[in-house]
A and B are shown apart, each in its own frame.
Chain A
Amino acid sequence: MTTYDELVAAATVGIAQRPLSVTRLPQPAGEHSTVFDADPAMCLLDAVALLDAAQRAGRLFATPIPRPAPAPSDGVPELPPLASLIVADLLRTGPAELLADLLSAAAHAGFRAPPALLPTLLSAAATNSALRDGVAATLGERGRWLAAHQPEWLRVVDSGVVPVADDAWETGRFAERRSWLAQLRRRDPDAARGLLAEGWMRETGEDRAELITVLADRLSAADESFLEAALDDRMAEVRRRAARLLQLLPGSAYQARARVRAAEVLHRERRGVRRRLVVTLPDELDESARRDGLHVRPHTPRTGVKTWLLMQIVAAAPLELWTEILGAAPRDIVALPIADGFAPDVHAAWRRAAVRQRNAEWARALLDMSEHGPSDAELAAVLPHTERQARVVALLQRSAEAVRLPAEVQSCPPPWAPQLAEAVLAYLERELRGGRSVPTGALLATVARALPTDHAAPLCRLAEEAPLTTGWLRALRRTADIIELRRRFHEELQ
């Protein structure tokens, strides 16, 4: 009996060196051994041809393997076909923000993404954080099942509600542990903190820095001693994050220390009827200030040391401090003159504090005051949705600050109130008729994303008016096309 392996071995070395006479072949090839050529080389090729055919036709692949656990069934309906097509197109071409809007709308309307799009959606969301929430919201059971197969996909799910195993805290991957802890925190804040404290020193520095942020949810006075202790952590990032949380904790010892420091650097001076604020800077930071996360050296080399100190100290204090000690409303406080040219620094510090402490009253006062300064989308984001839009409408109607407008409009995420839509259209019309250059792509992208779909007709009329020689026609048409796309998408969700 000559086996296939023997034939291969002989041919590899060469039958000139290792002669081989083919005798019988294994069945079923053996039935045809009458056809062999007399020449040994030809005979070898004949035999291999027979064995090759037999092996290809008879090779057994049927290895039994365990099948994976199937995905739970999902009662949520899939996106209708046209809406799915739009999502698939936007996944290829962008813009991601528009896609994120549509996905969120789809989730809100009670739909989930069709399975065939899930791998692309998960991969896109893994690399583009703008898509993360929208994708996480439309995954459905199937998407969460699929995401469990790849670590980077699992991180996407993490921003939504990821079903994690009961023993995830002891045995899970980091994302699963963090997710598990966040869910426990929501149910039982004290238990979550207790568990975190228990194994705290066994975690790596990086994991500690990540895990401590879980406490931002349901933050309370009960967390104070744990966070105070974290101010002495070995890892700088842990100390910084602990300080941030303590700043937000009303009545904490940290806040008391921050108040004392802030009240010392900034106070009111009265000269007759004139009032102004005066800055007195400390020469150096004491041990307690350094422990609270203040630094002598500025992060950016261009900031002066004094300015840096001042801003840190003022920004760390609760904003209520100033209304209390100055006895005035935020609006009046920000209007006070500040000695020695420190006004920009103090205002910058208040802006930072207003953003961190989500203080709308201060944000409003600071925005009113800095109407002619640079736009501050972060600060505007502290204001309620409608108020933010009303401010932009007012700005658009005055139309004075053409430079600032795009940024202001972009700071208004959809949905837009009709007033804002009309004001933006009127602004575009003025610019077009005035022969100005085409608005920035970013502005038009925001319009395309946020203009209510029932305002598309005026935009199309405007496009018809646009001269062919400038870029207006194309820019407006493209914008109108995207709005039409959104209209169709929302129609599908009805």
Chain B
Amino acid sequence: MPARWSVDQVLALAPDAASAAAARKVAAAVVWMGAGCVSGLVWGRYVGSGTLRYETVVEPGVPAYGCSCPSRKFPCKHALGLLLLWSSGDVPDADEPADYAVAWQQARAERAAATAARPRGERDEEAAARRAARRRERVTVGLAELELWLCDQVRSGLSGVSGTYWHAEPAAARMVDAQAPGVAATLRRLSAVPASGEGWPQRLLAGYARVHLLARAHTQLDTLPPDLAATVRNYVGYSVSREAVLAEPAVRDQWLVVSVRDIADAAIPARRTYLRGDKTGRWALVLAFDPQGQFGGDLDAAFEAGTALDAELHYYPGRPPLRVAVGARHGEPVAGPPPQPRRRLSELFDEWATVLALDPWLPEWPTVLCGVPVPCEPRWRFADETGASVPLQTGGIDPWILAAVSGGAPVTAAGEWSADGFRPSTVWHRETAVPL
């Protein structure tokens, strides 16, 4: 039987907020009859109003759900409610599964066997190569046009767009047509810079210069080192299939979840989870996307800071290697130890310079620091043992929780480092991870 999950882990599986709320309502022992769990199965008979009865079975390890209710939500509130009940320890251990649980498991096994037996369509590699070549051609033409546009901006002067927040929109739209969505997204962000207050010309010019650098790098794709070429392709917006990444060699380790951050204001809400390998000491980033921002049912979005998972991760191509696809998981997440922090900011600066040299476009890099949060005007700072300090980015977090846990003494905090400062997501209170 896998270890019982936490309430948050269960609710992370809910397809939407309404389901999560409904699940909480049916997670009371009184509405379940004959609930039990054994050998990886949890089951129970839901007793609703009147004669309403549903048989619910869940296999948390997969996870897989079965319920005789007519709900089109998946998983339904009964499955979630049953899991909540199980997570709170209110589902008793049984000697053997109920009949309907056994029946469900058999049916599932048969379906799985049938799916596996189906022959996979042969991939037409030649056609794929033709498509890729066509795409490369379109991007190349598009980026060449963009270079002309960038030069025009510099020639005619940035002051012309002062105070506007959409000037790069037409160029961004053109990049969408040219199948360079990464460049399009960057340009959309840059559109807002002229309205971002003092110092905007330098920020905008630096942004243009990075796009220019990317466009120049793209013209030399074939001569760049393969990992750098992959990074360039990634920023331009060529996608890499998950299957291809999973075919890469795996890195197996005890991965500690150090930071989970939701980016709600992105075009597509994303959840960034940073893991650190216990043996390898490597960083890994798991990205999950959900247009609704609910992240229900996605195991890649169900990580909890402070837990550790024995798993095989496959790195996406690029340098420095960071983003991963999660392959085989060995066992359930367990409580992990606090990560080893950097005690001096100078070590972080060295690492940052190293990774920027590998990837000059890199917006942020994960880090674990030991230091003291200092609430000062106008912005908070984070000071290390030598008294050196960096700005603390407090957007989207409650820095007072950090201060409360610290109590003016050094704490271990994990998050993202960028040229603007340290943005923590997790702080350790002794052995316990506290999300900010």
Query: Using a CB–CB distance below 8 Å, which chain A residues touch chain B?
Result: 4, 7-8, 11-17, 39, 41-42, 44-46, 48-49, 52-53, 56-65, 67-71, 81, 114-116, 118-120, 142-143, 145-146, 149, 460, 463-464, 468, 477, 481
Q: Which residues of B contact A (CB under 8 A)?
A: 28, 30, 49-50, 147, 150-160, 201-202, 205-206, 208-210, 212-213, 216, 345-346, 349, 352-353, 356-357, 360, 372, 374-376, 381, 383, 386-391, 398, 400-401, 403-405, 407-409, 419, 421, 427, 429, 432, 434
Q: A12–B429 contact, CB under 8 A?
A: no
Given A57-B357, A63-B388, check contact A146 B376 (CB 8 Å).
no
Of the A-B pairs whose beta carbons lie under 8 Å apart in the complex, a sample of 18, sorted by A's number, is: A14-B154, A14-B158, A17-B157, A42-B212, A46-B216, A48-B206, A57-B353, A57-B356, A60-B349, A61-B390, A70-B407, A81-B432, A115-B407, A116-B434, A119-B398, A145-B407, A468-B49, A481-B28
Q: How many A-B residue pairs have CB under 8 A?
A: 160
Chain A residues with Cβ below 8 Å from B407 are: 70-71, 115, 142, 145-146
Instruction: Say whether B30 contacts A59, CB under 8 Å.
Output: no
Known: A13-B157, A68-B408. A58 touches B353 (CB 8 A): yes
Take A45-B209, A115-B405 as given contacts and tell me if A62 and B151 are in contact as well, using a CB distance cutoff of 8 Å: no
Question: Does A116 contact B408, Cβ atoms closer than 8 Å?
Answer: no
Which of these, A12, A53, A149, contacts B158 with CB under 8 Å?
Answer: A12
Q: How far is the CA of A58 from the CA of B403 in the complex (A)?
A: 28
The secondary-structure label for the interface of chain A is helix
Q: Does A44 contact B429, Cβ atoms closer than 8 Å?
A: no
Q: Using A146-B400, A146-B403 as known contacts, say yes or no to A65 and B159 having CB atoms under 8 A apart.
A: no
Contacts known (A8-B202, A61-B389); A41 close to B360, Cβ less than 8 A = no
| Chain B neighbourhood of A41, CB < 8 A | 150-152, 154-155
List 3 A-B pairs, minimum CB-CB distance, nearest first: A14-B157, A70-B408, A62-B388
Min CB–CB distance A119 → chain B (angstroms): 4
Q: A residues within 8 A CB of B201?
A: 8, 11-12
- Residues of chain B within 8 A (CB-CB) of A64 are 386-389
CA gap between A8 and B352 in the complex, in Å: 25
Q: Assess A15 versus B210: contact at CB under 8 Å? Given A115-B404, A145-B408, A149-B403.
A: no
Contact yes or no, A63 B157, CB < 8 A: no
Partner of A11, one of B28, B157, B375: B157
Q: Is the CB of A7 within 8 A of B408?
A: no
B30 near A464: Cβ-Cβ < 8 Å? yes
Interface residue from B154, B390, B419 paired with A62 (Cβ < 8 Å): B390
The answer to whether B155 touches A119, judged by C-beta atoms less than 8 angstroms apart, is no
Q: Chain B: which residue is nearest A71 at the CB level?
A: B407
Min CB gap A83→B, angstroms = 14
Return chain A residues, CB-CB under 8 Å to B210: 49, 52
Contact A42 B389 (CB under 8 A): no
CA separation between A52 and B212, bound complex, in Å?
A: 12
Q: Which residues of A contact B202 (CB under 8 A)?
A: 4, 8
Do residues A49 and B212 form an inter-chain contact, with CB atoms below 8 A?
Answer: yes
Distance of A292 from chain B, by nearest CB (Å): 49
Residues of chain A within 8 A (CB-CB) of B376 are 65
Contact A15:B154 (CB < 8 A) given known A59-B419, A61-B389, A71-B408: yes
| Contact residues in A for B159 (Cβ distance below 8 Å) | 12-14
Q: Are B360 and A49 in contact (CB under 8 A)?
A: yes
Asked, given contacts A62-B346, A70-B408, A119-B398, whether A11 binds B154 with beta carbons under 8 Å apart, the answer is yes
Q: A119-B398, A119-B401 are in contact. Are A45 and B208 (CB under 8 A)?
A: yes
Partner of B345, one of A48, A49, A61, A65: A61
| Chain B residue, CB-CB nearest to A68 | B408
Given A52-B210, A468-B49, do A63 and B389 touch, yes or no (CB 8 Å)? yes
Task: Given A62-B389, A63-B389, A115-B405, answer yes or no on A14-B156 (Cβ-Cβ < 8 Å).
Answer: yes
A101 to chain B, nearest CB (A): 22
B205, B353, B408, B409: the one contacting A48 at CB < 8 Å is B205
Which residues on B sit within 8 Å (CB–CB) of A119?
398, 400-401, 403-404
Task: State whether A116 touches B205 (Cβ < 8 A).
Answer: no
State whether B400 touches A70 (Cβ < 8 A): no
Q: Provide the bound-state CA to CA distance between A7 and B205, in Å.
A: 9
Q: Which residues of B contact A8 (CB under 8 A)?
A: 201-202, 205
CA–CA, A127 to B116, complex, Å? 59
Minimum C-beta distance from A397 to chain B (A)? 30
Contacts of B405 in A (CB 8 A): 115-116
B residues less than 8 Å from A143 (CB atoms)? 404
* Cβ–Cβ < 8 Å partners of A81 in chain B: 432
B380 to chain A, nearest CB (A): 11
The CA-CA distance from A17 to B360 in the complex, in Å, is: 31
B30, B155, B375, B398: which contacts A149 (Cβ < 8 A)? B375
A16's partner among B150, B157, B408, B409 (CB-CB below 8 A) is B157
A206 and B153 CA atoms in complex are apart in Å by: 62
In the complex, what's the smallest C-beta–C-beta distance from B51 to chain A, in angstroms?
10
> How many angstroms from the CA of A70 to the CA of B421 in the assembled complex?
23
CA distance A14 to B409 in the complex (A): 51
Specify which chain A residues have a CB less than 8 angstroms from the CB of B391 in the assembled complex.
Answer: 61
| Chain A residue, CB-CB nearest to B371 | A67
Q: Is the CB of B209 within 8 A of A67?
A: no
Partner of A460, one of B30, B346, B390: B30
Residues of the A chain whose Cβ atoms lie less than 8 Å from the Cβ of B150? 41, 45
Inter-chain contacts of A477 with B (CB < 8 A): 28, 30
Minimum CB–CB distance for A124 against chain B, Å = 13
With both chains docked as a complex, state the minimum distance between the C-beta of A81 and any C-beta of chain B, in angstroms: 8
Residues of A within 8 A of B155 (CB): 14-16, 41
Tell me, rounded to whole Å, the shortest Cβ–Cβ distance linking A204 to chain B: 28
A269 nearest CB across to chain B (Å): 65
Closest CB in chain B relative to A299 CB, distance in Å? 42
Q: Is the CB of B404 within 8 A of A11?
A: no
Residues of A within 8 A of B345 (CB): 61-62
A45–B154 CB distance below 8 A: yes
Specify which chain B residues have a CB less than 8 angstroms from the CB of A13 in the assembled complex. 157, 159
CB of B227, distance to nearest CB on chain A (Å)? 18
CB distance from A184 to the nearest CB of B (A): 29
